[in-house]
Amino acid sequence: MNLLILHASPKKRGGASRFVSGLFRLFMPGASAKTAALRGRQDFERALVYMADADAVCLSFPLYVDGLPSHVVEFLTLAEEYCQTHSRRFRLYAIANNGFIEGRQNRAALQMLEAWCVRAGAVWGGGIGIGGGAMLRILGIVYPILIALTLLQMAASLFTQGAVPPDLSCSLVFQAAGWLFFNAGVLFAMGRLSRAVRKGRAMPDHYTRVLIPAFLFVPIADLFMILSSLFHGRLLFTLLRRDGQPFDKERR
């Protein structure tokens, strides 16, 4: 079984969709799998070439206005023509993520892909809708850093004192357990999806989320967006916008 994983975030670096596709790849050890970016038109030709040998395709993408990103829609139009011209029939799976906390926000996007399969002659294998996709990536960055720092402290203590303090061991266990807890729903959904792909079967669409309470998720997400804007040098530009338009003295 040849698997093609396409991460369709338009971002050149980072992005929750890239992180999610990499996480899913870990659930497919030993499988003949290729991973490719689908950021824009420059990637269409290569993706179609990879698709020619694929028995299953897994599309990982961010939710855009409760639907598919525009470049994904354009690619699917070409893929439909390609499938019908070359009589290609593969099984399509999908992983949609959004910035909202509710995973079911992705329902319409997954239904669009299911409808595309009917039109293109492909087989819909089912999908996952993940709420809090950006938070999933943040946790995937923060917790490995914390765990790495704890391991360094444990190594330093072992080297200097000949023993590891119990509090460091407990800290490591709590950090690993915390990451597993917050991502338990996503990891379970990934397991279901990987099993369906391996067996060549369809699965019902499954919706999950990062297990952070909504009253904590919202302020953390807002803080992340502020820091992200500041990091990219866009914080001042964002603050000086009115009704979606840049602030302009001549328009006051």
119-164 pLDDT, tens digit each: 999 999 999 999 988 788 778 888 889 999 999 999 999 888 888 8
Phi first, then psi: what are they for 91, rounded to 5°? Answer: -100, 125
What gap in Å lies between CA 228 and CA 46, rounded to an integer? Answer: 31
pLDDT along the chain (252 residues), means of 10: 92 83 91 90 93 93 94 95 85 93 93 95 95 81 89 90 87 90 93 94 94 74 69 53 46 39
Please tell me the predicted confidence (pLDDT) of residue 225: 67
DSSP 125-189: EEEEEEE-HHHHHHHHHHHHHHHHHHHHHHHHHHHHHSS--HHHHHHHHHHHHHHHHHTHHHHHH
Q: Tell me the CA distances in angstroms from 138 to 17, 71, 143, 159, one per residue in order.
A: 12, 25, 8, 32
The b-or-e profile of 39-69 (16+ CB within 10 A means b, else e) is beeebbeebbebbeebebbbbbbbbeeeebb
Amino acid in the structure at residue 157: S
Please tell me the predicted confidence (pLDDT) of residue 165: 86
Please tell me the predicted confidence (pLDDT) of residue 250: 39
Q: Helix, strand, or coil here: 9? A: coil
Q: Tell me the CA distances in angstroms from 6 to 80, 154, 178, 184, 238, one per residue in order.
A: 16, 39, 29, 23, 31
Question: Hey, what are 233's tokens?
Answer: 């040098």
Would you say 84 and 126 are in contact if contact means Cβ atoms under 8 Å apart? no
Nearest 5°: the CA angle 115, 101, 21 is 60
Please tell me the predicted confidence (pLDDT) of residue 135: 80
Q: Helix, strand, or coil here: 101? A: coil
Would you say 58 and 122 are in contact if contact means Cβ atoms under 8 Å apart? no
Which residues, at least 6 apart from 194, have a Cβ–Cβ distance to it below 8 Å?
24, 27, 28
